[in-house]
Amino acid sequence: MSAFIHNFFNVEIMAKSWKIILVGLSNTVQVAIVALVCAAVLGLALAVLRGLKNRVIDVLIVIYVDLFRALPTIVLFMLVYYMLPFFGLSLPLFWAVVFALAINGGAYFEEIFRAGIEAVDKGQWEASRSLGLDFRQTMRFVVLPQAIRIVIPPATSNSLELVKTTVLASVISMPDLLYKAQQAAGLWYNPTPLVLAALIFLVMLWPFVRLTSYLERRMG
């Protein structure tokens, strides 16, 4: 038991490593927020484009969405890591991670927003179009405000998944929470920092897990 505490809940190691871990946490939070915004905006834009019902646009978007739903995110991270420099895009790691998270998350957000838009009754479209609103006005003032309500539970759950996915940044050596925890664990040859990282995720994301359950139950 004391060996267990020594290796996993070692207060001394925690005291030594919290500074390193804090740097990682700060990077994780920044990357999560920026990527979340980018992914949501991308998803919304694509979902609105699909409202145009243009065959070509639809097919292109479906290919994009299915491709990214089919590709494991860690593989996408590796591809971005190896391929971007080749295209002359020497992005800083931070933006490479944001890019990977945004194009991956955007595919899921597109599906969610599209389902929300499609759930709005067709009569709403017809009514506002016949009142003289154009496509953009109908989207903005009639359809989207109603779609938002339907979209909130799955979008919350998807946001949670996106934030959890940020740990893959550690695989391409961006100094995020997991990367820094692994570094600290290696430095003092003790896995306590890893446990600390897990606990930080638990404390940080648990409210959102509860929120997701609550929203799903209320809307269901």
Kindly list the residues in this chain that would bind other proteins in the complex (CB under 8 A): 3-4, 7-8, 66-67, 69-75, 78-79, 82-83, 86-88, 160-161, 164-168, 170-171, 178, 182, 185, 191, 194-195, 197-198, 201-202, 204-206, 208-210, 212-213, 216-217, 220
- Comparing CB distances to other proteins, the nearer of 46 and 138 is 46
Angle at which helix 11-50 crosses helix 93-119, to 10 degrees, equals: 50
Contacts 24+ apart (CB under 8 A), 114-117: 114/46, 114/47, 114/50, 115/150, 115/151, 115/154, 116/47, 116/147, 116/148, 116/150, 116/151, 117/47, 117/48, 117/50, 117/51, 117/143, 117/144, 117/147
Question: How far apart, in whole angstroms, are the C-alpha atoms of residue 126 and residue 121?
Answer: 9
**Minimum distance of other proteins from residue 207's CB (angstroms):** 9
Instruction: Pick between residue 188 and residue 201 the one whose CB is nearest to other proteins.
Output: 201
* CA-to-CA separations, 153 to 67, 116, 148, 188, in angstroms, rounded: 24, 11, 10, 42
CB of 7 to other proteins, least distance (A): 5
CA angle 76, 80, 82 (to 5 degrees): 115
Of the pair 9, 141, the CB lying nearest other proteins is at: 9
CB of 200 to other proteins, least distance (A): 9
**Residue 135 CA to chain centroid, in angstroms?**
29
Residue (of 50, 56, 51, 49) closest to 124 by Cα position = 51
Q: Which is nearer to other proteins, 60 or 75 (CB)?
A: 75
Q: How many C-beta atoms lie closer than 10 Å to residue 131's C-beta?
A: 10
Using the minimum distance from each CB to other proteins, give the nearer residue, 136 or 217.
217
Closest separation between CB of residue 56 and other proteins, Å? 20
Report in angstroms how near the CB of residue 113 gets to other proteins at its nearest: 15
Of the pair 135, 188, the CB lying nearest other proteins is at 188
Distance of closest approach, residue 176 Cβ to other proteins, in angstroms: 10
